[in-house]
Structure 1
Amino acid sequence: MEASAFSHFSKGTIVARNNDHVVYRLDPEYGQATASVYAVMPGVEVISFNFQTSRFIPTFHSKRNILELNHCQEGRAECKMKDGCLQYIGEGDLFMNTMSNHSHCIELPLGYYKGMNITIDLEKFTGQLSKYLPDFLIDVQGIADRFFLNDECYFIQAKEDIQHIFCGMYSVPIEARTTYYRLKVLEVLIYLYYFDVASETQKTFYARQQVDIIKQIKKKMIEDFDRRFTIEELAQQYCISPTVLKTTFKGVYGVSIAAYMKEYRIRQAASMLHKTQKSIGDIALAVGYKSQSKFGAAFKEIYKTSPLEYRSKNQIKLN
């Protein structure tokens, strides 16, 4: 079966290829990205994404009746949909959309993303499904119509059933991936066939103007990360209510402001431990911790080791 029948990446460079598998190195403006494309059935491809960047322009499949299923394993993605809505995919979520409401730009608020994409050409695949499930008739177009009755995208928030389907797809040995992915595509279609569409509460859509303000606030905080801003102070400065600030920030970045800045400070500290000879006390102060003991506890919570142990294992030998 020919790989990359329709999920080509025109701005990518092919770094590996065989009969049913193509690996692209993508070239986003900042960072690195790869896409591994597996042709698993006629009209069906599974794409494994690994991004270390903040922004990506996805492939657009023009004039095709395409269904996309996107599962997030790690990170977070902001999808700017054709209808103007901003959707956020977090760890464990399954996001479904059609090409009539595709995302023309994907931003990665945390700077990284790993996930799986199942791309189905509904016209090409519909007639093939009976070969794989001869005793179980599934109308794939009917599934799509049911999920997109009121909108052209649909969210299934992280839950055990979704995790059960996708978890093995990230660890299966490379020689078994095509066969394994084929089985998983069939499994997810059966899952969607029985899924109660009306039971799932859809995630909140966020207005672009509010999101832009939240991004300005985040930029301000990380540029001056040794300072402790209060919610009230930021809300007043950016003319936004404290409640909207807190809820929208969590919607965009997946965690509270406090949790986001805590991890950011500790990761900056880890970089200093790795690259400089500064004392642990000075590093603690540099990232906004007046108490070295509180810094040590926060560091261990994230890195599962003390700052001193981390430095001894990771520090670059400086001349």
Structure 2
Amino acid sequence: MKPTLEEKSLYGEGVQVLNRRADRSVYQITDETGNAKMISYEVFEGITVVYNEVHMQEFSVDINPSEEVFEINHCREGRIECEFQNGDYLYMADGDFSVNRKEGTRHHSYFPISHYHGVSITVVPKLAQRELDHHFGTGQINLEQICRALCGRRGFFLIREPEWAEHIFFELYCLPEQIRKDYFKLKVLEVLLFLSTIGGETNQPSVYFPRGQVEKIKIIQKQITEHMDKKYTLEQLAAEHEMALTAMKSCFKGVFGSGIYSYIKRYRMSAAAKMLLETEHTILHIANCVGYENGSKFAAAFKDVMGMTPREFRQNREGKQYFLHDKMSEWS
């Protein structure tokens, strides 16, 4: 199926339409780094629920909405980068909830660990307001006021792992297909009704990272993943990239969700697991490729991350499937 102009404006020129019917469309974006799948449901006029399954590091879309649009997001698992006009960055992680304005601009989405699952509710206030007035009475829920109150000057509102968001969104991930359309209406109204009561005062302080630091951290991540056979000390990396040691450690964890040594270990084990599946190389050779000269130390590290030894992993069909569906998507 060919994408419409509206679909291209939302997901980019390279979007594929896998399936389309009156109230549900399935889209896919694919490149050499992986793929992203979006399942979109039209709930009311002006309100859409989208399931996002991303297994790639980044993509860009030219967004040019004809009306004011805001988006409600819940991150079930993974990480996504949020960039602000002043050059600051913020990162959503497991359980986080956000509201943001979508303005006419080139939108670049970056997923630090190439893994993101979540739900988005896209709202066009001028179109959706009629539906809410019909259900709750005129003016009881004011969408433009919700957007202004929550998004404010920055255009973005974030709460870290709120219990109420987990309760509201959990059910959206477990719905049978046959009842989704009607159930979405209840859940969307529940979310908007709740947002109309909280205002911006519950917005929690967040750690923002300046563009210069983030760019250096991404260079460091690329360096340590492209040269897995080399060993780096934190002091060496900080000096080489002209960063204070504390700032480097803090920013790396903020972007990628773990410390540098922990990230290197898990990335190396992911790469080793892929080689165990796709090549006939000896386990010692694979250990050397990911920076381990000692086979027993490599086996211990692999078991710590993957839950089984390299030999067991190579022989265990269930272990291979577990890795392909979870570990690869998260750490490759």
**TM-score category by the smaller chain?**
0.7 to 0.9
* 1:218 Cα deviation after fit: 1.0
What residue number does 1:37 align with? 40
Greater helix fraction, Structure 1 or Structure 2? 2
Indicate yes or no: 2:105 matched with 1:110. Answer: no
> Please, which moves more after superposition, 286-295 or 214-223?
286-295
* 1:69 Cα deviation after fit: 1.1
* 1:61 Cα deviation after fit: 4.0
What residue number does 1:263 align with? 266
Amino acid at match of 1:261: I
- Give the distance between the partners of 1:288 and 1:141, measured in 2 at CA: 54
Contact persistence 1:67–1:119 (CA under 8 A): yes
What residue number does 2:228 align with? 225
Over residues 136-163 of structure 1, what are the superposed CA-to-partner deviations in whole Å (9 max), with x where a residue is unaligned?
A: 9322222222112342111111233222
- Give the distance between the partners of 2:201 and 2:314, measured in 1 at CA: 52
When the two chains are superposed, the root-mean-square deviation of aligned CA atoms in Å is 2.6
- Give the distance between the partners of 2:32 and 2:281, measured in 1 at CA: 33
1:285-296 matches, within 5 Å, as 285-296=288-299
Give SS of 2:130's match.
Answer: coil
What residue number does 2:96 align with? 93
- Give the distance between the partners of 1:206 and 1:177, measured in 2 at CA: 38
Contact persistence 1:41–1:182 (CA under 8 A): yes
Identity of counterpart residues, as a percentage?
31
Which segments of 5 or more consecutive residues in structure 2 lack a partner in the other structure? 321-332
> Please, which moves more after superposition, 42-51 or 140-149?
140-149
What residue number does 2:169 align with? 166
* 1:95 Cα deviation after fit: 2.2
Over residues 43-86 of structure 1, what are the superposed CA-to-partner deviations in whole Å (9 max), with x where a residue is unaligned?
A: 10011122222211246243412111122223222233445433
Give SS of 1:240's match.
Answer: coil
1:244 pairs with one of 225, 244, 247: 247
What residue number does 1:49 align with? 52
Indicate yes or no: 2:148 matched with 1:148. Answer: no
Indicate yes or no: 2:211 matched with 1:181. Answer: no
2:124 pairs with one of 113, 121, 125: 121
Sort the Cα spacing of 1:257 and 1:197 in 2 relative to 1 into closer, same or farther, 3 A: same
What residue number does 1:234 align with? 237
* 1:212 Cα deviation after fit: 1.1
Contact persistence 1:67–1:99 (CA under 8 A): yes
Q: Which protein has greater RCO, CA pairs closer than 8 Å, 6+ apart?
A: 2
Over residues 264-306 of structure 1, what are the superposed CA-to-partner deviations in whole Å (9 max), with x where a residue is unaligned?
A: 0110111121123333344334323355444334323332333
* 1:185 Cα deviation after fit: 1.4
- Give the distance between the partners of 1:100 and 1:202, measured in 2 at CA: 24
- Give the distance between the partners of 1:59 and 1:46, measured in 2 at CA: 20
- Give the distance between the partners of 2:303 and 2:40, measured in 1 at CA: 38
Sort the Cα spacing of 1:226 and 1:137 in 2 relative to 1 into closer, same or farther, 3 A: same
- Give the distance between the partners of 1:217 and 1:193, measured in 2 at CA: 42
TM-score, L = length of structure 1: 0.87
1:204 pairs with one of 188, 197, 207: 207
Sort the Cα spacing of 1:29 and 1:60 in 2 relative to 1 into closer, same or farther, 3 A: farther
- Give the distance between the partners of 2:238 and 2:190, measured in 1 at CA: 46
- Give the distance between the partners of 1:41 and 1:29, measured in 2 at CA: 36
Contact persistence 1:82–1:104 (CA under 8 A): no
Give SS of 2:67's match.
Answer: coil
Contact persistence 2:230–2:291 (CA under 8 A): yes
1:130 pairs with one of 97, 109, 133: 133
Amino acid at match of 2:161: A
TM-score, L = length of structure 2: 0.84
What residue number does 1:65 align with? 68
Aligned length: 312
- Give the distance between the partners of 1:91 and 1:101, measured in 2 at CA: 28
